[in-house]
Amino acid sequence: MGEKLETVLQGTPVSPGIGIGPVHVVARGFSAPEVYHIDENDIPHEQERFRTALEETKLQLDELQQKIKALSGEEESRIFEAHLMVLEDRAMLDRVADAIATRRQNAEFAFYAVMQHFLEAMRRVPDPYLRERTADLEDVCQRVLRNFRPDEAPRHTAPDETHILVAYDLSPTDTAGLNRRHVVGFATELGSVNSHSGILARSLGIPAIVGIEDAVLDIRTLTPAILDGYSGRLILHPSEETLARYQELKDRKEKVRQDLEAQRDAATATTDGRTITLSSNIEFIDELALVRNSGAKGVGLYRTEFLLLDGEEMPGELEQSEAYTRLATELAPHPVIIRTLDAGGDKLPIEPLTEPEPNPFLGWRGIRVSLDRPGMFKEQLRAILRASAHGKLAVMFPLVSGLGEVRRAKDFLKECMDELSAQGVPFDEKLETGVMIEVPSAAVIADLIAPEVDFFSIGTNDLIQYTVAVDRVNHHVADLYRPTHPAVVRLIKRTVDAAKDAGIWTGVCGEMAGDIRLTPLLLGLGVEELSVGPHQVPRVRRAIRALSHVECSDMANFALKTGISSEIMDATMDMARRYYPELLD
């Protein structure tokens, strides 16, 4: 086969970094089988394996059709006729046979690749009837794949375990579940910079690109590639020169990372002595080692939805308590802030709904779910209280929109304290309680909420989207999602000032906290704590140590007076470029 020409596909960068390795393409609807290269003399054998799997599937479908006919009648049994027609489609059969020969890949993966192409094409047609038929096609595909002889062991070497994942889209759960030892980056057709999957990619340190048009249709598994998470380029069949250039860039970035890690134990304070608490956001207990190695002073946001909703059933009070206790003990004496279940929106679903929400971002999510499910809520609160006897824990309520929600949540917490006291269970009676300020209504009445709690943590991702009325996962309006919008800047300042007047502290746990372009702005607005992904801690620490708080305050005063987002971004970027240019991508 001839040398492939280098091809550059342009997308939108969502998580910085360089990934080098073979591509692995994942289709929606059914799992990808193992893929491996075959020799030319193995082509007839693989084509025979394909025919055998087809014949076995036909027999199974015919048998199933007869059973349905006996049970329910002729009409109902006809639903399988479409399935059988797929297996006899000459165009499909020829394409699979040709794919085995030209791709030089095993039969099941050649079949998978061809069917993946058909499925993606069907999903994009405007006819709703045809789009609905994708489910039938997916079912046929799964049946055929299961009928490739499972007892036949591969006689070829599997591809390198490290790979670049290419998919139509990745859910937050998909992203969080990626094997970080093997996935060196991912590229998707859908998504945006501010989608929850993009946020998780940055938090986990996985280079990522979104918006690569027709990636699933056009890219072959095992294609050698480079994923550039800085520029948003996916380079297929890179030349030796391109590989060398990117390897040099990767080595240079690694040198910067090592220099940052050397400062792990340095004080996180500005040049004029303003100390900032730098903590970490985590999703999983097994990220504790990352937190410790980063030098973060505890956890500013533990997202419990992945603990609570990632299994077949919700863990009970004692199981939750064990997880929270491990957090408390392993990070002591540093604090851990546990956010109660934050489901809905673009996150994880708490339970199936009888009908889809027309706008889940404005629907049943955050603290609203917990207050509507008091049994589940109290179970989580009691688990947190039990664990608080073993270290410094705090609890935080998400998506609060008013004072009433805060008081109701605190009432439930008080009930849980009384219940545990009656049982003689020890807990921290002075457990700190905080709320996330991520709804404009909460920011506007921050002065009323502040006396009720011990701290504020600003969730800038939602605060921005609700303030500027932009769905942060909608690529059509992505350019309107602006963290430096004057209204957002003023709401942050209003929140910080209200907390200061009440004698409590304010942190930021949203994406703005880890964006070193915005570090000067946040410091200038008076934020006292930043909670970021473990991989972002060294960069943010270096940025803080390079800045003067007085100078940041002067810049923030300018930001509060101007009405133009770009002017605020230019002002904070100018400081970032002057004081830590080596960190900017």
31: number of Cβ within 10 Å: 10
Dihedral sign of CA atoms 492, 533, 538, 572 in order: negative
Distance in angstroms (rounded) separating the CA atoms of residues 392 and 455 = 15
Helix (H) or strand (E) holding 186: strand 183-188
Give me the catalytic one of 83, 196, 390, 485.
196
**DSSP codes of every residue in 471-534:** -TT-GGGGGG--TT-HHHHHHHHHHHHHHHHHT-EEEE-SHHHH-TTTHHHHHHTT--EEEE-G
Closest CA to 465 of 202, 195, 204: 195
- Any binding-site annotation on 339? yes
Cβ pair 396, 337 in contact under 8 A = yes
- Any binding-site annotation on 147? no
Cβ pair 508, 471 in contact under 8 A = no
Q: 507 forms bridges with which residues in the sheet?
A: 457, 529
- Any binding-site annotation on 303? yes
**DSSP codes of every residue in 55-112:** HHHHHHHHHHHHHHHHHH-HHHHGGGHHHHHHHT-HHHHHHHHHHHHHH-B-HHHHHH
Give me the catalytic one of 24, 163, 334, 509.
509
422: number of Cβ within 10 Å: 8
Q: Is 141 a catalytic residue?
A: no
Helix (H) or strand (E) holding 183: strand 183-188
| 425-456 CB burial, b ≥16 within 10 A, e <16 | eebbeebbbbbbbbbbebbeebeebbeebbbb
- Any binding-site annotation on 461? yes
Q: Is 390 a catalytic residue?
A: no
Measured in whole angstroms, the distance separating CA 345 from the mean position of its chain's CA atoms is: 13
- Any binding-site annotation on 454? no
Chain position carrying tokens 């550039």: 228
Question: Running DSSP on this structure, what letter comes out for residue 540?
Answer: H
Cβ pair 200, 534 in contact under 8 A = no
Rg (C-alpha) for the chain, rounded Å, is 27
Q: 227 forms bridges with which residues in the sheet?
A: 19, 234
- Any binding-site annotation on 346? no
Annotated binding-site ranges for phosphoenolpyruvate = 303, 339, 461-462, 472
Residues with catalytic function: 196, 509
Annotated binding-site ranges = 303, 339, 438, 461-462, 472
Annotated binding-site ranges for Mg(2+) = 438, 462
